[in-house]
Homo-oligomer: A and B are copies of this chain.
């Protein structure tokens, strides 16, 4: 029986390790992205595939998600598993998607086209699997901010409504006309929408021009409006989001610190022995523990930690020092062993010869860096010059070889393992860019000579790599390097943010495609198709939208939808893109069906919702992220623990 129990325990432990194995996590993410990526092949598709193929892949994904969930259930106590809303969410999403698939398939067989509405739920898998802790944290932060934001938003909307009422009274009876010749500011709801758009500054002078043409006094109305609603209220939104973000962050950090301390105290209580009046942990036990939890660190590093923890060398560690152990282990102590260069090891005579020494001192000289900075600048000029000139395309080879020589010289001079250590971001960056450029250039040349065919994709990559090389010049200036390092440190957080953006964009893209697909068509410039100049829609004849050639800004497939949503995020012209165009289109199409007014307003709601969610909430969180990162960088002082270690290192010499 005991044996049985032990084997069950072993099995459970194995299952647990398997669940947390990186391959399993990677596989989960792979299938999540496959599931999301299906939108590219589903109708309306970038690359159309039959429904059977996409639905089979989707079912496969769902099976994988279900399997993963079952696996998680096996390694989690039952009551914990069922209490977790994450798991319930996933189960419901799987079930709902299956039902939708069956209904859609059945209707498809009987030739009725319906809507695959469950596609909207796909990002739920990305959010709710246990690995996406960061994204969930951001969502939690959004949820916490909501009440506060709602109040400010209501006040903001009240202000917009008030100004709209004023605008109606001031301009409504003046018989003014907009550029398109329609009546200016006569319908209250349209004024509200126009003034809401003015907050995003998208229709900035246009909305003002008729009144301004009438009398310049009226510009004061719009200036007051912009100052209050764009500058004041948008800053208040940022303040609310940022304040909440900071508060939230503080709470999480406090909670984590408390948990850590609590666990360390528990460990201390298990290991403690009485020494005089106080409880302590003996040196031998301490060492054993450190060996167990951090098997990778060197003996000298462990000795250093012991010296820090047991300053007076009494042969034991007291409670206060013991609790600090977790922090101590987190600090990277870089062993600055001056390793001998492998070449010196293999052929010391050659490596230490006069020529070799001269080369090495040359590379270490400041002038070497400066020379290469000058070379980069000259290269920049050459890149800007005309590619067709054969002299210049040969120059490219010269530059490429110069860069390769630089890297070889550096590896020759500096110890390779130190040169390519984890912390040397710029060395990694340089080397990979140069190698990639070398491969791409060779590929391009061989393709050209082999088939007289100049692959555009390869050439584009070559161009980009060539320009990226120039970034290196920033690294030469100390002040820039600091800013760049902060920017690089932000990258991981930005990835979380990218995940969040993906979730929101995906949901809006799916809805947008269902609402607006096919309403606007793109034709190539020389197309002779009917209504080619009106984006395939007679309603857009002579509209600003068609004249500005915005036809490709449509919701006809997932990539276009993403691009349009990106444009909406950047905010400018969404009035043009959407109000003028799509609502006009909807107006036209749905007028016949008698739904004009309702859907017209509903379409506007879609874009206002997007603005509220993305610009007011998410972009502000992004800005809060970046602000916080920079403030931390500015106020970065060495923590107490780090100082203790540094002092010890200095003491020990």
Contacts and interface: CB of A to CB of B under 8 A. Distances in A.
A232 interface: yes
B631 A213 contact: no
Contacts of A576: 205
Nearest to A173: B387
Interface stretch (A90-98, A428-436, A479-487): A479-487
A487 B223 CA distance: 18
Contacts of A170: 460, 463-464
Given A552-B209, A571-B201, A563 B219 contact: yes
Given A166-B464, A470-B162, A550-B205, A487 B232 contact: yes
A207 B525 CA distance: 17
Contact of A213 (B213, B216, B522, B630): B522
Most B Cβ at <10 Å: residue of A202, A480, A573: A573
Contacts of A203: 572
A470 B166 CA distance: 11
Contacts of A154: 480
A548 interface: yes
A627 B258 CA distance: 30
A304 interface: no
Interface in A425-475: 460, 463-464, 466-468, 470-471, 474
A140 interface: no
A165 B559 contact: no
A89 interface: no
A62 interface: no
Contact of A165 (B204, B219, B226, B467): B467
Interface in A228-256: 230-232, 235-236, 238-240, 242-243
Contacts of A540: none
A567 to B, nearest CB: 5
A527 to B, nearest CB: 12
A152 interface: yes
Interface string A93-117: 0000000000000000000000000
Interface in A362-390: 380, 383-384, 387
Interface in A287-332: none
A169 interface: yes
B630 A151 contact: no
A213 B549 contact: yes
A380 B464 CA distance: 59
Contacts of A204: 567, 570-573
A235 B179 contact: no
Contact of A205 (B166, B206, B460, B573): B573
A212 to B, nearest CB: 6
A596 interface: no
Contacts of A232: 487, 490, 626
A619 interface: yes
B166 A563 contact: no
B162 A563 contact: no
Contacts of A626: 231-232, 235-236, 239
Contacts of A380: 165
A162 B471 contact: yes
A232 B490 CA distance: 10
Contact of A179 (B549, B553, B577): B549
A577 B208 CA distance: 14
Given A239-B631, A623-B238, A627-B242, A549 B383 contact: no
Interface string A205-225: 110110011001001000100
Given A162-B470, A205-B577, 15 more contacts: A151-B483, A154-B480, A158-B474, A162-B471, A165-B470, A170-B464, A204-B571, A205-B576, A213-B522, A213-B524, A216-B560, A219-B563, A238-B623, A239-B629, A242-B627
9 contacts: A158-B474, A165-B384, A204-B572, A205-B577, A213-B549, A235-B622, A235-B623, A238-B627, A243-B631
Interface of A: 151-152, 154-155, 158, 162, 165-166, 168-170, 173, 179, 188, 201-206, 208-209, 212-213, 216, 219, 223, 226, 230-232, 235-236, 238-240, 242-243, 380, 383-384, 387, 460, 463-464, 466-468, 470-471, 474, 479-480, 483-484, 487, 490, 522, 524-525, 547-550, 552-553, 559-560, 563, 566-567, 570-573, 576-577, 619, 622-623, 626-627, 629-631, 634
Task: In the A-B complex, list the 9 residue pairs whose CB atoms are closest, starting with the nearest.
Answer: A239-B630, A204-B572, A169-B463, A235-B626, A201-B572, A166-B467, A219-B563, A201-B570, A235-B623
